[in-house]
């Protein structure tokens, strides 16, 4: 799919972008909700690409970059069209070439200004949940003027929720539970077998063991255990050899009843009893649980000669482990071990690939050129990542002298467990408090609450306030996770935010992307709006989408939001004012945008209504409420334009 499209004509020179305006606009919106998605299912924005980045006016010429926030995790992926991510995308308005009769060009005898076509950048995203629960992904779009000037950043928010089936069970490890070569009449160390409930309902799990004599579990298998949603049950298993040289095998089976999905999972185990004069400890060799990129584990392994005669060891190697991730700190060579003596070797694990904690191959060596001894390795590693919901603390408007509070869920959104080691910031007027949980379990296994407030002093000057609260973690090469905080401080009185709304270029007879106008009551009492109206040159082309009845009551220090769209009926610049009337006064918001297209407005209001209400075919489901609301707004045009 092409990432650049020529979407609309525009008369150059009819609208200039002021320094207060955004230099790019986003169509159709600055957010996308994937809704509830089954675990493991891949869902793309609809359509894909979904987001269009367009220059605000013909005079804006910008280089655009799009990046995911560090808190997004691996479940969200950007579907970036060329030239991103290799190089920045270019958004501008290109002069249209040609000599067709319809072109407004001087050589065609036209006295109209030259035409240009917007060159946009489009991108989409996908969501593949690996964990249950709500997730948020802030996406940063950076716009830099091509010919110099200050860059601007914008945030697009992706949301989605992972949902497991009612009954779902996972049994680990997936690979053979191998206890290696074990001397006669010897007990190994424990290895873990874990049953996990990935569903949304409790499950009653019955366990069985085909060889409970040589494979001993704690707790014993054979009973039924109830596991709650997202919970797990772990069995510690070791091998006990007897006086017989043989290979012991077992199968551990875990089932649920038919009314709980009739689920089943198995783990196979093996233990090879050998007549050897060496004992390796520990067995298995524990190499730890890692986050990819952290410091290697070094484990000292002791090899004991249980006979009175010396033995020679040779052929030290590793088998089955991720190549190159497990090594000897110092190659052992071919040492001789005296009678009843021992030697040690140091084993290092430096993971670079993900794997669940469990069996990961064996360390092997040969005794006196005859008997090969295999000792299992156990370990695992995952990427570490922090997710939050919501993606930032956006308090919106806050009256000076008042306080707003917000809560945020913080969780591990990759496979690795993450430790929170501290918090820094923010500064006044913000504050933040972190809950007491400091270990976040992988795949959203739990979450901790981060509570924040915005409390500007009564004498604080009005304006935007931005800060960060940073969470320190043990994630390698990352250090801290910065969470943005934003508020708009308002002085006393009744104030709209923003004071000017820019709708950018909009195709004729089609609704623009919605702009939210927020009216905040920083006055001394509650009030009810008596009137909401549009005035000015193009008042008829701006519409309120929601609320359906704008006569809302706004309590002291609280706000009401109004979703407004531009539906241009002719080409060219559009201006109007949105006027809020309340007992004792009025306040206004300046509106501007541009109609783009051939300028044909014949067909009257019925044709305009048809186009506006038919524009959503094939679009995202999240846009349907806006499309329906616009249709309703057209039908109540006079009331929406001036609600009395």
DSSP 71-126: TS-SSEEEEEPTTTTTS-EEEEEEEP----TT---GGGT--SPPEEEEEEEEEEEE
Residue 627 is classified by DSSP as H
Residue 22's pLDDT is what? 55
- 396 and 420 Cβ atoms separated by less than 8 Å: no
Length of the chain, please? Answer: 644
Residue 598's pLDDT is what? 59
Q: Is 58 exposed, middle or buried (0-12, 13-18, 19+ CB in 10 A)?
A: buried
- 360 and 379 Cβ atoms separated by less than 8 Å: yes
A 10 A CB-CB count for 277 gives 18
* Regions of the chain short of the pLDDT cut 70: 1-23, 95-115, 598-644
A 10 A CB-CB count for 448 gives 17
Structure tokens at 316: 């030290």
Write phi, then psi, for 432 (nearest 5 degrees): -150, 145
Q: What is the pLDDT of residues 99-109, one digit of tens each?
A: 333 334 334 44
Structure tokens at 108: 């065609």
Is it true that the peptide bond before 406 is cis, omega within 30 degrees of 0?
no
Q: What b-and-e string marks burial along 195-210, b requiring 16 or more CB atoms within 10 Å of the CB?
A: bbbbbeeebebebebe
Mean pLDDT of the chain: 85
517: β partners:
562
Q: Distance between CA atoms of 440 and 295, rounded to whole angstroms?
A: 20
Structure tokens at 412: 């591990």
Residue 338's pLDDT is what? 96
Helix (H) or strand (E) holding 466: strand 463-473
Q: Distance between CA atoms of 94 and 10, rounded to whole angstroms?
A: 10
User: What's the N-to-C CA distance of the chain in angstroms?
Assistant: 48
Q: What is the pLDDT of residues 480-503, one digit of tens each?
A: 899 999 999 999 899 999 999 988
- 536 and 590 Cβ atoms separated by less than 8 Å: no
Q: What is the pLDDT of residues 567-626, one digit of tens each?
A: 999 999 999 999 999 998 999 999 999 888 754 433 333 323 322 332 333 334 444 444
Helix (H) or strand (E) holding 264: strand 264-274
Residue 71's pLDDT is what? 84
Q: What is the DSSP string of 278-320?
A: EEEESSSEEEEEEETTSPPEEEEEEEEE-SSS-EEEEEEEEES
- 582 and 553 Cβ atoms separated by less than 8 Å: no
Strands (E) across 536-619 are located at 542-546, 553-554, 559-566, 572-582, 585-596
pTM of the model: 0.73
- 359 and 175 Cβ atoms separated by less than 8 Å: yes
Query: Cβ neighbours of residue 590 under 8 Å, at least 6 residues apart?
Result: 499, 500, 501, 575, 577
Write phi, then psi, for 245 (nearest 5 degrees): -80, 110
Q: Distance between CA atoms of 602 and 11, rounded to whole angstroms?
A: 20
- 306 and 337 Cβ atoms separated by less than 8 Å: no
Nearest-CA neighbor of 327 among 351, 292, 353? 351
Q: Look-up: residue for tokens 């979407």? A: 7
C-alpha distances (whole Å) from 547 to each of 367, 503, 586 are: 82, 19, 19
Q: What b-and-e string marks burial along 117-146, b requiring 16 or more CB atoms within 10 Å of the CB?
A: bbbbbbbbbbbbbbbbbbbbbbbebebbee
Residue 23's pLDDT is what? 61
């Amino acid at each position: 799919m092409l990432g650049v499209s020529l979407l609309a004509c525009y008369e150059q020179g009819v609208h200039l972008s002021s320094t207060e305006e955004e230099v790019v606009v986003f169509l159709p919106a600055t957010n996308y909700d994937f809704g509830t998605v089954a675990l493991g299912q891949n869902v793309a924005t609809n359509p894909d690409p979904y987001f269009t980045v367009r220059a605000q006016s013909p005079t804006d010429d910008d280089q655009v970059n799009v990046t995911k926030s560090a808190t997004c995790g691996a479940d969200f992926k950007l579907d970036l069209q060329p030239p991103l991510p290799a190089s920045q995308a270019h958004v501008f308005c290109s002069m249209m070439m040609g000599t067709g009769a319809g072109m407004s060009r001087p050589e065609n005898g036209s006295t109209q200004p030259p035409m240009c076509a917007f060159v946009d950048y489009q991108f989409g995203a996908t969501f593949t949940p690996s964990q249950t629960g709500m997730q948020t992904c802030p996406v940063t779009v950076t716009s830099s003027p091509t010919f110099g000037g200050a860059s601007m950043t914008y945030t697009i928010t992706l949301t989605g929720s992972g949902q497991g089936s009612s009954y779902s069970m996972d049994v680990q490890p997936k690979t053979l539970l191998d206890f290696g070569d074990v001397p006669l009449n010897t007990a190994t160390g424990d290895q873990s077998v874990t049953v996990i409930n990935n569903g949304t309902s409790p499950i009653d799990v019955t366990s069985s063991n085909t060889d409970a004599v040589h494979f001993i579990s704690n707790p014993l298998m054979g009973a039924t255990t109830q596991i709650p949603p997202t919970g797990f049950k772990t069995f510690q298993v070791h091998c006990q050899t007897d006086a017989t040289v043989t290979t012991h095998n077992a199968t551990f089976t875990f089932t649920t009843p038919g009314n709980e999905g009739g689920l089943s999972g198995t783990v196979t185990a093996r233990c090879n009893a050998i007549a050897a004069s060496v004992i390796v400890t520990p067995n298995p060799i524990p190499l730890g649980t890692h986050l990819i990129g952290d410091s290697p584990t070094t484990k000292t392994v002791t090899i004991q000669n249980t006979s009175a005669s010396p033995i020679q060891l040779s052929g030290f190697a590793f088998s089955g482990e991720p190549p190159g991730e497990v090594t000897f700190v110092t190659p052992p060579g071919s040492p001789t071990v005296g009678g009843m003596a021992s030697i040690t070797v140091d084993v290092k694990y430096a993971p670079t690939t993900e794997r669940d904690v469990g069996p990961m191959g064996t360390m092997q060596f040969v005794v006196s050129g005859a008997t090969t001894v295999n000792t299992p390795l156990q370990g695992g590693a995952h990427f570490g990542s922090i997710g939050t919901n919501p993606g930032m603390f956006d308090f919106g408007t806050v009256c000076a002298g008042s306080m707003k509070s917000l809560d945020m869920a913080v969780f591990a959104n990759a496979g690795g467990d993450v430790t929170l080691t501290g918090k820094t910031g923010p500064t006044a007027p913000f504050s933040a408090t972190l809950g007491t949980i400091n270990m976040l379990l992988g795949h959203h296994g739990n979450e901790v609450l981060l509570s924040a407030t915005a409390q500007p002093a009564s004498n604080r000057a009005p304006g935007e306030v931005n800060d960060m609260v940073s969470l320190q973690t043990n994630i390698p090469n990352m250090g801290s996770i910065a969470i943005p905080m934003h508020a708009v401080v308002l002085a006393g009185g009744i104030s709209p935010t923003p004071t000017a709304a820019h709708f950018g270029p909009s195709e004729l007879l089609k609704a623009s992307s919605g702009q939210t106008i927020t009216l905040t009551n920083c006055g001394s009492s509650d009030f009810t709006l008596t009137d909401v109206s549009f005035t000015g040159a193009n008042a008829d082309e701006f519409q309120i989408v929601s609320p359906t009845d704008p006569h809302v009551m706004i309590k002291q220090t609280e706000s009401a939001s109004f979703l407004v769209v531009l539906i241009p009926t002719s080409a060219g610049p559009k201006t109007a004012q949105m006027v809020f009337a309340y007992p004792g006064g009025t306040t206004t918001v300046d509106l501007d945008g541009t109609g783009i297209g051939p300028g044909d407005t014949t067909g009257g209001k019925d044709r305009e209504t048809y186009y506006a209400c038919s524009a959503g075919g094939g679009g995202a489901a999240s846009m349907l409420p806006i499309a329906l609301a616009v249709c309703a707004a057209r039908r109540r045009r006079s009331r929406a334009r001036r609600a009395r």
